[in-house]
Structure 1
């Protein structure tokens, strides 16, 4: 079984304070330090909405353990467009925003498409060709989060497989759960937590832990508990880590 990294999306949420996840007396400036020691990865979401300073990436690198890993959501300006192939300038701007300051802690980049974006083989292939294999001498891994059923087409998987690009699984959600292996790593988002202590009951946690083991057969897995009942997501991620440890 490959390494399984489990975490949450972001770390600065009021729902997680006052003892829900963060200790009541924990200063907000130390939340990443705390979260990165309770979990094994975090998906940075703020990068989807706007550029972050290079100094911020450096700070996040310095505050986390040596074996920690971040996934980074790519800029929406690169993916929320009619023609994906026309996003070269936005892709380049995002890749040069300072993400490589994360160094070896940089995990996959999640290129999330709009729910309305349908699969067009020519346009999709042209977009994938814009994603470089390295930046500033650092190897890059890319994942595509397609949210339209048309991306279930085998041709979409074939195009990703040719470039070692993962298709993100949207598990327990309204989005298509595209369960195909297209890269030497896997990327999943668990999106259906409920308002119970650990986000799921014991049977649910066992189910998703078993699924994580299956996905990590021979490859590294990045799994993020996100959406659903947000206040329960850190507890769910922690419970899955315990089941898999």
Structure 2
């Protein structure tokens, strides 16, 4: 349970205590929640030193989901991705070690359902950290001198796909994801994008809650959170469930995430300072 990102100026003095140093915001968030969706990796390749720092700032049981680069999803539309995937994994993702959670791929609203493109992309994805490290070693010259190409242990690497074009609303799409063991993101978007509830991965369910009344803005009522809690309890029978609130405009995401975590009995033991 967590939020999509953590660097939001409006959270300062609201969720984050007044006077908290900006460099300690992740540390503070990780004391309130158990996970975060790392979205800086969507906008640009990060550096191994950043991933090492994020690892060091968080408790042992904290987990990062990592958002795949928009250059792959939005510019290349998943095509010709082998070297781009090598660069992504070489940028430091594997430095998260045991704190690496699922990798999220968010497709643009203009990208239509094309099973051939999806199948080729899925085939290129490394499914464990050793394979990811071997792929990372094939990075291009842009990562020379700043690549991370090793792993401390062999662990599975799992993936979730969020789609935003209505052409994906066909029975063949979740069937294709199930065939390739990719989670179909359950995206609550105030009716803006397609909505799926199928469990298409063998052990993973991935939710992104963008706002149920107004995209990115509206908070979730107690009744709405209870409905999500009931759904999540069902999914947790046989699956790990990752839930990220993306309704950050009005500083609702952290409060909603903590409230839902408490409903499910997975909240942090918090003091009265936050």
TM-score by length of 2: 0.82
Q: Which residue of 1 aligns with 2:197?
A: 179
Name which of 39, 49, 74 aligns with 1:45: 39
Deviation at 1:235, TM superposition (A): 0.5
- The 1:180/1:23 distance shift into structure 2, 3 A limit, reads same
The answer to whether residue 97 in structure 2 is matched with residue 103 in structure 1 is yes
Greater share of strand residues, 1 or 2?
1
After superposition, where does 1:149-228 map in structure 2 within 5 Å? 149-173=166-190, 174-183=192-201, 184-192=203-211, 199-227=219-247
- The 1:230/1:8 distance shift into structure 2, 3 A limit, reads farther
- The 1:211/1:229 distance shift into structure 2, 3 A limit, reads farther
Q: Which residue of 1 aligns with 2:159?
A: 142
The answer to whether residue 15 in structure 2 is matched with residue 26 in structure 1 is no
Q: How many residues of Structure 1 are paired with residues of Structure 2 in the alignment? A: 237
TM-score by length of 1: 0.91
Structure 2 segments unaligned to the other structure (5+ residues): 134-153, 266-274
Mapped partners of 2:67, 2:32: distance in 1: 21
Mapped partners of 1:59, 1:84: distance in 2: 29
- The 1:194/1:34 distance shift into structure 2, 3 A limit, reads farther
Structure 1 segments unaligned to the other structure (5+ residues): 1-5
| Cα root mean square deviation, aligned | 1.8
The answer to whether residue 42 in structure 2 is matched with residue 62 in structure 1 is no
**Structure number with larger C-alpha Rg:** 2
Q: Which residue of 1 aligns with 2:136?
A: none
